[in-house]
Amino acid sequence: MSLVGKKAPSFKATAVVNGNDYATDFSLDQFIGKQHVVFFFYPKDFTFVCPTELHAFQEKLAEFEARGCAVVGASTDTPESHWGWLQVEKANGGIKGITYPVVADSDKTIADAFGTLAGEYTYDENGQLAATGPMIAFRGLFLIDKEGVVQHQLINNFPLGRNVDEALRMVDALQFFEENGEVCPANWSKGKEGLDASHSGVAEYLAAH
């Protein structure tokens, strides 16, 4: 399922913000009209690859914020699990020092809405609810513009960690297009030239999509 070109699913959930505080009814809707958002899912708290990604986003957080882009993480763990992991030092496998919001998708509805949930619910022969698959989130990442529309998405399987520099490059590419009306060719990076969208029917295509 692709959400590109569509409104990001709306939700309200508890998040841990600033590494210590609970924010109930946290929603990405608060950023509409104000900021771009990089919203990413990771599989589970207290694991091995996940903290490397969360810390990598924190290390680049100032660069995202300088571009007016919020960073928000999420997994299907509970708010209490998030809070506990946030109190553990990085040297001990924790994520202490993470300041961006970490959403608790405890009922798994957010991951499901974004198409990142691994597994699904079924009913067995006795009518009992059963899960096929781990029911945790793949490594999904979504770049959402100020109108709340998904402009980029990436979903990796559990073993494959993401490149945070690439996420930052995609923010640059989106903002370059929004500001200049020029599209970004392969391997484009900030500071390089774009392509005139009026050439070769590109403008007509963009207007239609």
Mean pLDDT by 10 residues, the chain (209 residues): 95 97 97 98 97 98 98 98 98 97 96 95 84 94 98 97 96 89 78 72 50
Q: Where are the beta strands (DSSP E) in 115-199?
A: 117-123, 129-137, 139-144, 150-156, 182-183, 195-196
H or E, element range at 24: strand 21-26
Q: Which residues are catalytic?
A: 50
- CATH code for 13-162? 3.40.30.10
| Separation CA 171–CA 185 (nearest Å) | 15
In the chain, which segments carry CATH 3.40.30.10? 13-162
Given this model, what pLDDT does residue 199 score? 58
| Separation CA 36–CA 148 (nearest Å) | 8
Given this model, what pLDDT does residue 21 score? 97
- Is the pTM higher than 0.85? The answer reads yes
* Closest C-alpha to 171, from 189, 156, 155, 186: 189
Given this model, what pLDDT does residue 190 score? 77
Given this model, what pLDDT does residue 205 score? 43
| Separation CA 159–CA 127 (nearest Å) | 34
